[in-house]
Amino acid sequence: MAQAAPVTGGMTRAGRTPDVFSERTHAVAKYAVPIVLGLIYGYWAAANTRYGGPITGWNLLFGFVTAIVFAAVWMALAALTPRLPRELHAALWAAFTGIAVGFLYSLSGRGHSVLASTALGVAFAVVVGGVLFYRYYTHEDAEGHRIR
């Protein structure tokens, strides 16, 4: 049986996959994703501090402050890390993930120690750092420039 030979320029242009979203969608997502994730994180943190009790004003304030800090750090990392080498890029996102998970765990129960929260945060940071380093390493050319 005959088989068609691959041709260049069909679905991809210059070795890149097609972008299905418009520039406007990317611009909106640049701010919408950190804000939505920050609100989810803030709600989770506020729910952890209530321990099943009633919702109070201080609880709402804590949730919103946590959401704002989470979203601000996310946006700062998203703006800063693409200019860094892959090792530091992965390390900063891993540290952010580990700190976020450790903080939520420390809020989740009254009997959790600082060491347990730190251990869980470090475990998440190591896994996320390894995965991100692998991703950034495999998406670079021989000179270390990112393939976009």
Can you read off the two tokens belonging to residue 11?
A: 């679905």
Beta carbons of 65 and 43 less than 8 angstroms apart: no
Position 15 scores a pLDDT of 58
Note whether residue 17 is domain-resident. no
Position 2 scores a pLDDT of 67
Beta carbons of 128 and 97 less than 8 angstroms apart: yes
Q: Is 18 left (phi over 0), alpha (psi -120 to 50) or beta?
A: beta
Same domain? For 124 and 97 the reply is yes
Nearest to residue 115, comparing CAs of 123, 42, 47, 128? 123
Same domain? For 76 and 102 the reply is no
Number of H-type helices and E-type strands within the chain: 4, 0
Beta carbons of 35 and 71 less than 8 angstroms apart: yes
What is the number of structural domains in the chain? 2
Position 140 scores a pLDDT of 75
Same domain? For 38 and 60 the reply is yes
- Compute CA distances 119 → 14, 66, 124, whole Å: 45, 22, 9
**Which value, to the nearest 10 degrees, does the dihedral of the CA atoms of residues 45, 47, 50, 54 take?**
150
- Directed axis angle between helix 86-108 and helix 23-50, to 10°? 30
Local confidence pLDDT in tens for the 148 residues of the chain: 667 666 555 555 555 667 788 888 888 989 999 999 999 999 999 999 888 788 899 999 999 999 999 999 999 999 998 888 888 999 999 999 999 999 999 998 777 889 999 999 999 999 999 999 999 888 877 666 777 6
Note whether residue 5 is domain-resident. no
Q: Which domain holds residue 31?
A: 23-83
Same domain? For 116 and 130 the reply is yes
